[in-house]
Amino acid sequence: MDSCFFLTIFAAAICFFMMVRKFRPHQQENKEIDSSSLSPSSSSSHKWTHDVFPSFRGEDVRRDFLSHIHKEFQRKGITPFIDNEIKRGESIGPELIRAIRGSKIAIILLSRNYAYSKWCLEELVEVMKCREVLGQIVMVIFYKVDPHDVKMLSGDFGKVFRKTSVGKSKEDIERWRQALAKVATIAGYHSSKWDNEAAMIERIATDVSNELIRSAPSSDFNSLVGIRTHMKNMEPFLGLKSDDKVKMIGIWGPSGIGKSTIARFLFGEYSHKFQLSVFMDNIKRRYPRSCYDEYSTKLQLQKEFLSRIINHEDIKIHHLGVAKDRLKDKRVLVVLDDVDQLAQLDAMAKETRWFGPGSRIIITTQDKRLLNAHGINHIYEVGLPPCDEALQIFCMYAFGQKSPYEGFEYLAREVTTLAGNLPLGLRVIGCYFRGMSKHEWEKELPRLRTSLDGKIESILKFSYDVLREEDKDVFLCIFSNEWIEKVEEHFPKNFVDVSQGLHVIAEKSLVSISSGYIWMHNLLARFGRKIVRKQSIHELGKGQVLVDDARETCQVLNSDAIVSFHISHSSSFPLQNLIKTNFTYVSVVFSWLKSFLLKKKEK
């Protein structure tokens, strides 16, 4: 008897254990889809499984209006969640919750009897949570119902809601009320304002398609090395959590350093958070300096700016006050890329009060003085990437991965060094070497050591051409790192603009000055030497510069049929000392040469 009793207890225990095991997965599943388990996530990082989740009262719209929308969605390649007549009960199940949370856009189709179903109201509550927490896009269609009735729960819509609320808890009723009040304030589509229902449906589908395109995550920057570090460094400058102020932010650095790339990434990451946004690219080249009619140039620039930011192609403006009037109450994100004149800023972003609270205006430029003159205090200086990042950048373009192929390690490192870690140089040279064999790399390296790639040179030349003649003279006399005092010593005493010239070319990002020391990127130094070599020898008397190459100096002097000599033959030769300082004015050389020849003639 005892044995039978224990066997019965044992069997019961096994049954209980099996039931617990069977029940636990359901508990876990419910835990996973519990509404309280939503965690904040950006729209770009969340994993979306459907394009659209439609919430509707089936008996009102399923067979006509909704079927026509689905047909138009199919035509435009939009994938909605289809409930396939899911059996509906008192509350929405796990499948629907997952569908709502996995849909990039939720469409709330509010009809007269929408509030008749507790199921629909629970869907709405979940959608509004996803809008707030996940950044889900919510679009509303008021189908034969007044938005005011939805918000105030009046009219026929209110009557239906009150019937549904009978016997329900106060907590549920309040959740539904709040969700309806919020959704009623979203600008939606009113069927009463459309004479043609087919046109309304086509417009809805087009808008959904545009939203999907706009919110699609960009993969353009997936291969960018170090971009996340720049984003982290930029956060304090942007101050996006402070919505009450308008901020202008400068991104400053030399050509090819990656200013525009950083700005584009910022625009892609944050433009969806602003009411209006525009990226005005390559302003320096598209709107060059005009000395004839500055006002007309400003007017044309503001016209294009407004046309793009408010999406109005044939806009016409007759004065420069239009931008301020149109944008003063709008929260906008504006990127003005590669600016080199104050007139350009005056035309598009003269003052912070032109824009609504929370607006951000980002300006990329090589000229720090321009930012200071415009009163921009938030300036992010873009520096060269560290050596390990520079190698990764080069490898991405040369090999399609962040590390060199086996056997190419030392070659890749040497090329990276020759490019001076400049992102533009790394990209251009990396693309040039891509697909070459190791033998071809070794064959090309000697040429790379002594010449610049044409694309890099054209960009550097553009920065050089905008300098004043006096500032060009200063630039052409700096071909390596040097102390400022040392540089100033070797200019003629009557050349009074040395300090000012150094300041100007530093603000143009052509050199960097720190603690009295001048640093020039080796690509810029090689570019300067190339300019000197190309200058006509017939202009020597005008102050042409000789670079620190004894052989080149002798060739120049020889070419003018003045004298032939070897510097190494005379330890007391004054020119040797001049060459060691990296530069000199030929006028000084000729002064010495004249004296040297006269003495020789007297002997």
- Model confidence at 455: pLDDT above 90: no
What would the CATH number be for the domain defined by 227-381?
3.40.50.300
Mean pLDDT, the chain, rounded, equals: 78
- Model confidence at 202: pLDDT above 90: yes
What is the tens place of the pLDDT at every residue in 401-420? 999 999 999 999 998 988 88
| pLDDT at res. 184 | 93
- Model confidence at 33: pLDDT above 70: no
- Model confidence at 203: pLDDT above 90: yes
CA dihedral 98, 103, 104, 109 (to 10 degrees): -120
The conformation of residue 80, written as its DSSP 8-state character, comes to B
- Of residues 309 and 421, the one with the higher pLDDT is 309
- Of residues 130 and 463, the one with the higher pLDDT is 130
CA dihedral 326, 272, 120, 152 (to 10 degrees): -30
Asked if residue 130 lies in contact with residue 41, where contact means CB atoms within 8 angstroms, the answer is no
In the annotation, is 123 catalytic?
A: yes
Which one of 432-446, 492-506, 509-523 scores highest in mean pLDDT?
432-446
Which one of 29-43, 354-368, 578-592 scores highest in mean pLDDT?
354-368
Is residue 562 helix, strand or coil?
coil
Of 123, 126, 211, 507, the active-site residue reads 123
| pLDDT at res. 591 | 44
What would the CATH number be for the domain defined by 50-215?
3.40.50.10140
Mean pLDDT of 260-274: 89
What is the tens place of the pLDDT at every residue in 143-174? 999 999 999 999 999 999 999 999 999 999 99
Q: Cα–Cα distance between 445 and 234 in angstroms, integer?
A: 37
Q: Please name which of 462, 531, 517 lies closest in space to residue 256, comparing C-alpha atoms.
A: 462
Mean pLDDT of 200-210: 93
Is residue 335 helix, strand or coil?
strand
Range scoring the smallest mean pLDDT among 39-43, 348-352, 408-412: 39-43
- Model confidence at 251: pLDDT above 90: yes
| pLDDT at res. 530 | 82
- Of residues 162 and 466, the one with the higher pLDDT is 162
Angle made by CA atoms 577, 582, 584, in degrees to the nearest 5: 75
| pLDDT at res. 208 | 93
At the topology level, CATH places domain 453-534 in Arc Repressor Mutant, subunit A (1.10.10)
Give the pair of three-digit tokens for residue 7: 């066997």
| pLDDT at res. 543 | 45
Give the pair of three-digit tokens for residue 62: 């399923």
Give the pair of three-digit tokens for residue 261: 């790339």
| pLDDT at res. 295 | 85
Asked if residue 309 lies in contact with residue 246, where contact means CB atoms within 8 angstroms, the answer is no
Is residue 584 helix, strand or coil?
strand
- Model confidence at 8: pLDDT above 60: no
Helix (H) or strand (E) holding 171: helix 170-183
Mean pLDDT of 213-238: 79
Q: Cα–Cα distance between 9 and 185 in angstroms, integer?
A: 62
Pairing of strands 189-190, 137-142: parallel
Q: Cα–Cα distance between 200 and 206 in angstroms, integer?
A: 10
Which one of 36-50, 340-354, 539-553 scores highest in mean pLDDT?
340-354
Asked if residue 372 lies in contact with residue 397, where contact means CB atoms within 8 angstroms, the answer is no
- Model confidence at 382: pLDDT above 60: yes
- Of residues 509 and 379, the one with the higher pLDDT is 379
Asked if residue 221 lies in contact with residue 268, where contact means CB atoms within 8 angstroms, the answer is yes
- Model confidence at 571: pLDDT above 80: no
- Model confidence at 551: pLDDT above 60: no
| pLDDT at res. 26 | 40
Backbone angles phi, psi at 226, to 5 degrees: 85, 0
| pLDDT at res. 520 | 79
Q: Cα–Cα distance between 419 and 385 in angstroms, integer?
A: 12
CB count within 10 Å of CB 390 equals 23
- Model confidence at 86: pLDDT above 70: no
- Model confidence at 313: pLDDT above 60: yes
Asked if residue 545 lies in contact with residue 477, where contact means CB atoms within 8 angstroms, the answer is yes
- Of residues 337 and 490, the one with the higher pLDDT is 337
| pLDDT at res. 479 | 64
Range scoring the smallest mean pLDDT among 260-269, 294-303, 450-459: 450-459
Range scoring the smallest mean pLDDT among 49-53, 289-293, 589-593: 589-593
| pLDDT at res. 569 | 33
What is the band of 12 on the pLDDT scale with cuts at 50, 70, 90? low
- Of residues 536 and 525, the one with the higher pLDDT is 525
CB count within 10 Å of CB 170 equals 8
| Domain spans in the chain, listed from the N-terminal domain onward | 50-215, 227-381, 387-450, 453-534, 537-603
Q: What percent of the chain has pLDDT over 90?
A: 37
Q: Do domains 50-215 and 453-534 have the same CATH topology?
A: no
- Of residues 596 and 77, the one with the higher pLDDT is 77
Helices (H), 33-154: 58-61, 65-75, 94-101, 118-133, 147-152
| pLDDT at res. 3 | 53
Q: Cα–Cα distance between 190 and 181 in angstroms, integer?
A: 17
Mean pLDDT of 217-245: 79
